[in-house]
Amino acid sequence: MNGHPDALASLDPRLSWRAAGTADLDGWAALIARTAAVERPVWFERRADLEQVFQSQKNPAAANTILGFDSQGVARAYGRITKNPDGEKAVGFGCVDPAWQGTGIGTGVLGWMEARTRQRFAEDATEGVAPRLRLHMEQQHTHQAALFEGAGFRIVRYYNEMHRPLQDGLPAVGLDDGLELVGFGPGLHEPVRLAHNEAFRDHWGSEPRDEESWGFVVNDPLARPDLSAVVLEWASGRVAGYQLASHDAVSAESRGYKEGYTDLLGVRREFRGRGVAQALLADAMRRFAAAGMDQASLDVDSENPTGALALYAKMGYAAVSTSMAWDKEL
């Protein structure tokens, strides 16, 4: 068993534990899929997503993942954390095979996440910041809420997933003079990253995206640049705003509808109030509809400081589910 001894101390001895390796991809993905088949989350990681874990230099899998195997070598539980080197929090991910839930294994995985988070803060020498671990869950997963609350986590934020049917007519929104809407491609990857960091500087919980983390965004297996767009200022060529979209064909089959998903929508501060976000959303709806989607979807912080929730409602989006962020200061 490899890993950090202090972090490993909480893990259940009924399973054999070690860091995830590339040879574990199929078994790891199968574990998540088995759990998702029972818990039915809005989205879950698949093999292609897990492949990205092994590409990270900031969060190497050998130190920041743990997999638990039964006596037949089947993966039954996992934990993983990520943290920016100068970030104020680590974010935890994990699950326990439904057949093994309720046995205390989840508590042990959570303990591993906490211990590894403390180690990461020490390794990164994050000055003046207490170690903090953040977990996300969907509201219907009450067993997770009981686990988190019992471990001393508290809810710090609520998020709304919102859907907008594309059969109800599409809005026509124009742009101010001096602005133009263009497609998203490799030449705009870096300008949009910089615009994103600036646009989200005043958003709760957001941390700047470096080249590595942004690479995971634009190269995400579900990313759809053809369904994405950018608004530019003619005179300067600066990015005023952007809408980055994805589509999950697999979940469309199980959920019974196709959705174009706006993963990121942002507008630089000096361009706010000029209809940039509305134009990007209207463009996204047209792109989604042309691609055969049934609805447009997105996720929004319920306390977003830019008034995004009201904007989405005005554009015809309605909340369909809620998720929460839980924090624990270690």
Mean pLDDT of 246-260: 90
Q: Which backbone phi and psi does 83 adopt, to 5 degrees?
A: -155, 135
Token pair of 30 as six digits: 């199968």
- Is there a domain that residue 268 lies in? yes
192 shares its domain with 265: yes
- Is there a domain that residue 74 lies in? yes
Give the model confidence (pLDDT) of 185-217 as tens digits.
999 999 999 999 999 998 888 999 999 999 999
What pLDDT, on a 0 to 100 scale, did the predictor assign at position 305?
56
- Is there a domain that residue 328 lies in? no
Q: What is the mean pLDDT of the chain?
A: 94
Using DSSP's 3-state secondary structure scheme, residue 230 falls into strand
Rounded to 5°, the CA angle 99-101-105 comes to 120
What pLDDT, on a 0 to 100 scale, did the predictor assign at position 322?
95
- Is there a domain that residue 330 lies in? no
- Is there a domain that residue 77 lies in? yes
- Is there a domain that residue 329 lies in? no
Mean pLDDT of 321-329: 96
Any idea which of 11-25, 91-105, 199-213 has the lowest mean pLDDT?
Answer: 199-213
Give the model confidence (pLDDT) of 118-131 as tens digits.
999 999 986 778 99
Distance between CA atoms of residues 179 and 158, nearest Å: 34
What pLDDT, on a 0 to 100 scale, did the predictor assign at position 4?
58
- Residue whose tokens read 């095979």: 97
170 has a pLDDT exceeding 50? yes
Give the model confidence (pLDDT) of 255-300 as tens digits.
889 999 999 999 999 999 999 999 999 999 999 999 999 999 999 9
71-107 b/e (C-beta count within 10 Å ≥ 16 → b)? eeeebbbbbbbbbbeebbbbbbbbbbbeebbeeebbe
| Contact residues for 238 (Cβ-Cβ < 8 A; gap 6+) | 191, 195, 232, 268
Pairing of strands 239-246, 259-267: antiparallel
What pLDDT, on a 0 to 100 scale, did the predictor assign at position 306?
61
Give the model confidence (pLDDT) of 291-306 as tens digits.
999 999 999 987 765 6
For a pLDDT cut of 70, what percent of the chain falls above it? 97
Q: Structural domain of residue 112, as residue ranges?
A: 5-152
91 has a pLDDT exceeding 90? yes
85 shares its domain with 165: no
Distance between CA atoms of residues 45 and 94, nearest Å: 10
What pLDDT, on a 0 to 100 scale, did the predictor assign at position 1?
41
Give the model confidence (pLDDT) of 36-77 as tens digits.
999 999 899 999 999 999 999 999 999 999 999 999 999 999
Token pair of 107 as six digits: 């508590």
93 has a pLDDT exceeding 90? yes
What pLDDT, on a 0 to 100 scale, did the predictor assign at position 2?
46
- Choose the final residue of a domain: 152, 177, 209: 152
- Choose the final residue of a domain: 152, 173, 204: 152
Residue 189's Cα: distance from chain center in Å?
19
71 shares its domain with 217: no
- What's the total number of domains in the chain? 2
- Is there a domain that residue 240 lies in? yes
145 shares its domain with 206: no
- Which CATH number belongs to the domain containing residue 198 in this structure? 3.40.630.30
277 shares its domain with 167: yes
141 shares its domain with 165: no
pLDDT confidence tier of residue 8, bands split at 50, 70 and 90 = confident
pLDDT confidence tier of residue 251, bands split at 50, 70 and 90 = confident
Query: Which residue from 81, 96, 172 is spatially nearest to 134, judged by alpha carbons?
Result: 81
Quick one: CA dihedral 50, 51, 52, 54, positive or negative? Answer: positive
